[in-house]
Amino acid sequence: MFHTPLLPAGWPRPKGYANGVAVRSGRMVFLAGQIGWDEQGRFPAGGLVPQTRQALKNILAVLAEGGAGPQDIVRMTWYVTSRRDYLAAARDIGALYREFIPNYNVAMSAVEVSALMEDAAVVEIEVTAVVPE
């Protein structure tokens, strides 16, 4: 593994992410926030979970354009418009995460925001990846 999770001794083990990540070397790939619309700018029906699925698909597509894949993700920031909806859908979101991203050694933050730039968007995810040299 080219990156190492940072998990201080005595701290509880985070579920589904790492407290931090150290990377030895590599080419960095930065993704703008990806929302849950498709190539035609259409949002799926059903709210947070379907939009999360599409946002994750969009992330993989942009990573591929940069010569990266899900295994190269080292940091994610999730912006959601409803903390309550996010927590209620945590199991489904976790299943989607495992489907698209095989790596739990990702430094991750989630933030509730009052709105996103696209009125219909309920989730936006930023990604940093490091491709090994």
pLDDT exceeds 70 at position 1: no
What are the tens digits of pLDDT across the range 78-122?
999 999 999 999 999 999 999 999 877 899 999 999 999 999 999
Mean pLDDT of the chain: 94
Q: What's residue 78's pLDDT?
A: 98
Q: What is the reported pTM?
A: 0.91
- The string of pLDDT tens digits covering residues 18-61 is 888 898 889 999 999 999 999 999 999 999 999 999 999 999 99
How many CB atoms sit inside 10 A of residue 79's CB?
19
Tell me the per-residue pLDDT of 64-88, one tens digit each, with 9 for 90 and over: 999 999 999 999 999 999 999 999 9
Q: Which residues contact 90 (CB under 8 A, 6 or more apart)?
A: none
Residues 6+ apart with CB under 8 A from 120: 37, 43
Q: Which CATH number fits domain 29-131: 3.30.1330.40, 3.90.1140.10, 3.40.50.300, 3.40.1500.10?
A: 3.30.1330.40
